[in-house]
Amino acid sequence: MTAQSVMPSITLPCHFSIFHSVPPARHGVTTNTYTPMARPLPGLIEVANGAGKTSVFFYNWEPLRDLSRPEQLHFAYYRNNNLRIDGDDITADETVRYLETAKTTRPDDLPSFLFVYFGTVDTFGHGFGWMSDNYLRQLERVDACFGRVMAALPDDAHVLMHSDHGGHERSHGTDAPEDMNIPWMIAGPRIKRNHAIAAPISLLDTAPTLATLLNLKPHLQWEGRCPKEIFENSEIAR
């Protein structure tokens, strides 16, 4: 519950750090406007695609379309609804529909990696204030959306859930603890149960962790690492 975001703790820079395992000073995205990297670095999606793995995105904030390069995704769903109270419900419904269809009639469409982004919690933070009553009620709603997606996943799926940043009053982007502290939770067949991670965790650790779970070798320039203590079997973690 005390994992760390990156500076600036803003949505697009944070997500580039999530997917590329380097800080904004390296990937160069420092605002919510996409900037191509001066020194291109493969992210998780490119590494996965290069190894024959498929990736699927469901999201409701359009700038996230730039997290991977063209022709790297197997499927993507976007709808501009993060300002609606039920926006994440729609994203969850479409994610569940896709998973159920793939499991029953199109098994080749089941992805190696599924990314689901729920954007309304951030919207409610800006609109009503982080930790306000309206914010917490929306968080409960999004928690139910997350539960529906969890229930639709294959039984052997691993799930990593975290935020990109926190917030204070009606904003974020600073190095204040309210903005930088985030939850980072992982579960699945290879993961220890009821284990509190002792090692420090940041957004840079997400891509290496997911790569490990996908049996991929993290890119040499990634700066994060997979916390090996999370695994039930130390041999699996190597």
Question: Which pLDDT score is estimated for 233?
Answer: 81
Distance between terminal CA atoms of the chain? Answer: 25
Peptide bond into 8 cis (omega under 30): yes
Q: Tell me the pLDDT of the chain averaged across its residues.
A: 96
- Amino acid identity of 192? K
pLDDT at 238 over 60: no
- Amino acid identity of 74? H
| Sequential DSSP letters for 103-156 | HHT-GGGS-SEEEE---HHHHHHHHH-TTSHHHHHHHHHHHHHHHHHHHHS-TT
- Beta strand 55-59 pairing with 113-116: parallel
Comparing C-alpha atoms, which of 156, 155, 173 is closest to residue 164? 173
List domains and CATH numbers for the chain: 3-230 (3.40.720.10)
State pTM to two decimals.
0.95
| 113 close to 55: Cβ distance less than 8 angstroms | yes
**3-state percent breakdown (helix, strand, coil) of the chain, nearest 5:** 40, 15, 45
pLDDT, mean of residues 80-102? 97
What beta strand segments (E) does the chain contain?
A: 3-4, 55-59, 75-78, 113-116, 159-162, 181-182, 184-187
Comparing C-alpha atoms, which of 138, 17, 163 is closest to residue 82? 138
pLDDT, mean of residues 16-34? 98
Q: For 121-140, write each residue's pLDDT tens digit.
A: 999 999 999 999 999 999 99
Q: For 34-87, write each residue's pLDDT tens digit.
A: 999 999 999 999 999 999 999 999 999 999 999 999 999 999 999 999 999 999
pLDDT at 174 over 60: yes
Question: Which pLDDT score is estimated for 236?
Answer: 53
As a whole number of angstroms, the distance between CA 215 and CA 212 comes to 5
- Beta strand 159-162 pairing with 55-59: unpaired
Output the CA–CA distances (angstroms, integers) from residue 97 to 47, 101, 119, 188, 224, in the order listed.
Answer: 27, 6, 19, 22, 34
**Token digits of residue 206:** 């997400």
pLDDT at 88 over 50: yes
Q: In the chain, pLDDT over 90 holds for what percent of residues?
A: 97
The backbone region for 28, taken as left when phi is positive above 0, alpha when psi lies in -120 to 50, beta otherwise, is: left
Under the banding of pLDDT at 50, 70 and 90, the label for residue 234 is: low
**Token digits of residue 18:** 């999530």
pLDDT at 18 over 90: yes
Question: What is the CA angle 99-184-133, rounded to 5?
Answer: 90
**Token digits of residue 174:** 């600073």
